[in-house]
Amino acid sequence: MFSRAASGEGGCYGRPMRLAVIGHLEWIRFARVRAVPPSGAIEHATDAWEGVGGAGGVAAVQLAKLAEGCLLLTALGRDRIADDARAELERSGVEVHAAIRDEPTRTAFTMVDDGGERTIVTLGDRLAPHAADPLPWDRLGGVDGVFFTAGDAAALRRARAGRTLVATSRVMDVLAEGGVALDAVVGSERDPAERYEAGRIDPPPALVVRTDGVRGGRWEAAGGGGGRYEAATPPGPVVDTYGAGDSFQAGLVFGLARGEGVADALALAARCGAYAAAGRGPTGGQLRAADLGA
């Protein structure tokens, strides 16, 4: 299944939306602490839990909540963690298809402090799908929106079968090699690992978005024009910023795939990021289809 959403809020052109994510996921162990301890110190965790993280996993869950379904093409190891991650995603309405690798599924340890900021330590290599993997690539044909977070250049070219294709600037090398016309690329004003480098992608993306946290961000269109967008107000106190950026990007995919203009799509994306920051873990507070009209 892609989406069970009825036409209307989640529909597109009078039919249910079909959305997909090509990318990676991780299994995260979270610990809530007063503050991240300095070198040599000990800090007591007041809460601890586990769950799916990583851009591909978080974005797929966000899209599933908005459209009641999402296809995820990813890669996992031969281990119990992969089984746990698949089960959690499927409970969230994500249809998971994974290439199986001999390497272990990537894990991470994340501390979340009293301000909601997260500090992450990853363990193992990021596993990403490749176009040569026996995955249902043909199902991308004609989908309304695809979000690309990880994979090889050939997988990126497969992703272009979608009507709308958005990618993260974290994989700039792949985007440059792929030579694919992207509807949008999302980067960061502050994180060097997510900086968009103008001129590296040919053809240039139709839209470049640079996020700047609570200060909102800015956008530029290839055809000219641009501006800033405002951050949205969270529906409650900021609890955990892990996954807010991934939820933002998923919201942008959803808005553009639904045919919204840049301003409206960015406003929706900002709401997705704000809602995610107000929930426990990367997906606990995410915006749902029922919230779209609120």
More confident residue, 232 or 195: 232
Tell me the per-residue pLDDT of 216-268, one tens digit each, with 9 for 90 and over. Answer: 999 999 988 999 999 999 999 999 899 999 999 999 999 999 999 999 999 99
Banded model confidence at residue 14, pLDDT cuts 50, 70, 90: low
Mean pLDDT of the chain: 93
Residue 148 has pLDDT above 90, yes or no: yes
Q: Are 79 and 106 in contact (CB under 8 A)?
A: no
Domains defined along the chain, listed by start: 15-282 (3.40.1190.20)
262-277 and 244-257 helices, crossing angle to 10°:
150
The pLDDT of residue 3: 37
The pLDDT of residue 5: 35
Banded model confidence at residue 39, pLDDT cuts 50, 70, 90: very high
Look at residues 181, 184, 143, 182 and name the one whose alpha carbon lies nearest to residue 161: 143
Residue 4 has pLDDT above 70, yes or no: no
Residue 136 has pLDDT above 70, yes or no: yes
Residue 9 has pLDDT above 70, yes or no: no
